[in-house]
Every structure is written in structure tokens, then in C-alpha cells.
Amino acid sequence: METLLTPEELEIALRSIGAERYHNRHPFHGLLHGGKLNKGQVQAWALNRFYYQSRIPMKDATILARTEDPDLRLIWRQRIIDHDGNEGEDGGIARWLKLTDALGLDRNYVLSGDGLLPATRFAVDAYLHFVRDRSLLEAIASSLTELFAPAIISDRVAGMLANYDFVSPTALAYFEKRLHQAPRDANFALDYVKREARRPDQQHAVLQALRFKCDVLWSQLDALHHAYVAPGNIPPGAFDPVRLSAMDR
């Protein structure tokens, strides 16, 4: 790409990447939100997605550690607080564990990461490495999937409450909070990249960063879809709902 976009054109280009590649379009989310999964499959989703959640404050701390501007650090720090909470006050990670609790997953098993799909780990770790190794502009741009989060969260909460008797509003408290946090975070990051991407190569890098992040999310669902929707595809060592419930007995 050689032409310089206006900030508004850059935003349009970013939003069109989301329209094509954000994981709300993934068939696994259709199954999840439409009540087409059984409890074991929802467990597998929540278990694997917990690894992503657990790495988000590390990702944000990496950005913090690379930021020279104290004002930017002050604003970005809020993301870590949102996920890790405060003394005596739950953050996003604790709320996600309420979901895995409600689904009947053992908390130590969830925290251990033992049953993760390797592909989950590889995708999430790729995100951490990206944020550490690329430019600060690209690191911030890779957070822009939050722009597209509110729509999927609303669908998810409504769909899961309507379709699964093992899911309650308390179990979904994580998403309630994100409905307000995500747009605030995304708007800040969007303003940042529209302001700081002043050259065509920087704008290209920003667009690529968002594509990369969409791939990180999409490939996590591909792995879940492959392992847990059709029988016989769970990779060696990964969470197996059937085996787990057999152990319960």
C-alpha cells in the first residue's frame, strides 16, 4: 500500500477488516450462541478461552513496559486493573473463573492449563510475542478487535441464557462488564492509531496488526471446532469431556 489514507479512511479500512475477519463470523460461535453445543463443548470453550483471558493482563503489561509516555501508561494501566481487579474486588479473570466454576470445571484444572488445546496456547502466545516484538503502534493496533466486541457479547449473553440451562446471569458477569469496558478501550486505541499512523507503511502495519489479531481469535475457534464438534479429533493430552465425566463417577 503506497497511498496515505486520511484518519477516517484508515478507520473505514480497519472496520472492514473486522467485518470480514472478526470471530463473530466463525461457525463455532454460531453453534455456541445458538444453543447447539452440549455442556462438554461449552466447557471446552470456557477452559481454552480462560488461557486467553489469563494472558491479557500480561499482554497489557508488556505494552505498559514499552511505553515512554506516562499519560499513555496511566490510561493503559486501567486495562490491567480491569482484568486483575483490586484487593477484595474481582476483575475479569476472577469473573471468568466464575463461569468455569458454574460449568462444573475444577478450578485447579482450569488454572493449570493442563487440558488446553496446544493450538490455543500457540495462538495466544503468538499474541504476546507480537506485542513484545513489534512496534508500539502495532501492539496498540492489535487491541482493536475490541471495536467489534460489543455486538458479539450481546449475542452471546442473550443466546447462552436462552439456550443453556447450565448458564446463569451470574456465570456471565464477565461479559456484562466488558460491554462497558471494551468500547472505552477500543475508542482510545482507535484514536491513537488514527493519530500516530502518519505514513503509508505505518498505516499498512496497523491494518496488518488487526488482521493478525483476528487470526489469533479465529484460529482458537478453529481448534475448538475441530477438536470438539466432530468426534474423534481431540489431540493427545487435551481436555476430554467424556473421559472427565467418566472419572467423576
What residues make contact with a second copy under the rule CB under 8 A?
20-21, 27, 117-119, 121-123, 125-126, 129, 211-212, 214-216, 218-219, 222-223, 225-227, 230, 232-233, 235-237
Contact 42, 171 (CB under 8 A): no
> Residue 19 Cβ, how far from a second copy at the closest point, in Å?
11
Min CB(49)–a second copy separation in Å: 16
Q: Which letter does DSSP use for residue 35 in this model?
A: T
Q: Which lies closer to a second copy via its Cβ, residue 66 or residue 211?
A: 211
Alpha carbon 106 to its chain centroid, in Å, reads 22
Of 233 and 245, CB closest to a second copy = 233
User: To the nearest whole angstrom, how small is the minimum distance from the Cβ of residue 236 to a second copy?
Assistant: 5
Whichever of 54 and 92 has its CB closer to a second copy, that residue is 54
Minimum distance between the CB of residue 1 and a second copy, rounded to whole angstroms?
15
**CA 146/CA 164 separation, integer angstroms:** 26
Distance CA 91, CA 79 (A): 10
Shortest gap between Cβ of 214 and a second copy (angstroms)?
7
Integer Cα distance of 239 and 232 in angstroms: 13
Q: How does DSSP assign 221-233, residue by residue?
A: HHHHHHHHTSTT-
How crowded is residue 187: how many other Cβ atoms within 10 Å of its Cβ? 12
Q: Which is nearer to a second copy, 8 or 230 (CB)?
A: 230
